Amino acid sequence: MQHECMRFQVPRDPLTIVEAKVEVRLGNALYIRGQGDGLSWDKGQPLSPGFGGSWIWKTDKAKGKVLFRLLLNDEIRAKGEDGRVDAGKMIQVVPVF
């Protein structure tokens, strides 16, 4: 008699995603600094290039709100206010440098 093995998956925390829609010149990259899920205001983390001029940062470890600022090459701050996204949510931004 064969028994079907039941597989249990541990539920993952929902993804928190920041998607930036901006074209940057070849050789440049977008970074994120902030507060929440290991972000720091002192040193940025690179965003991953997506399709059609989008850049993506994602995490499944965020709790509460994530405050952030985007920087070009981790040096030039985007204009405007800091961004905010709730854990488990996605936000799309169009930064201006």
Q: How far apart are CA 60 and CA 76, in angstroms?
A: 27
Q: How far apart are CA 91 and CA 82, in angstroms?
A: 13
Are 32 and 59 within 8 A, CB to CB? no
The CATH fold assigned to 16-93 is Immunoglobulin-like (2.60.40)
**Res 11 pLDDT > 90:** no
Are 37 and 4 within 8 A, CB to CB? no
For residue range 56-87, what is the model confidence (pLDDT) as tens digits?
999 998 989 999 999 999 999 999 999 999 99
DSSP β-ladder status, 54-59 and 48-49: antiparallel
State the DSSP code for 4.
P
DSSP assignment of 43-59? S-EEPEE-STTEEEEEE
pLDDT for position 10: 56
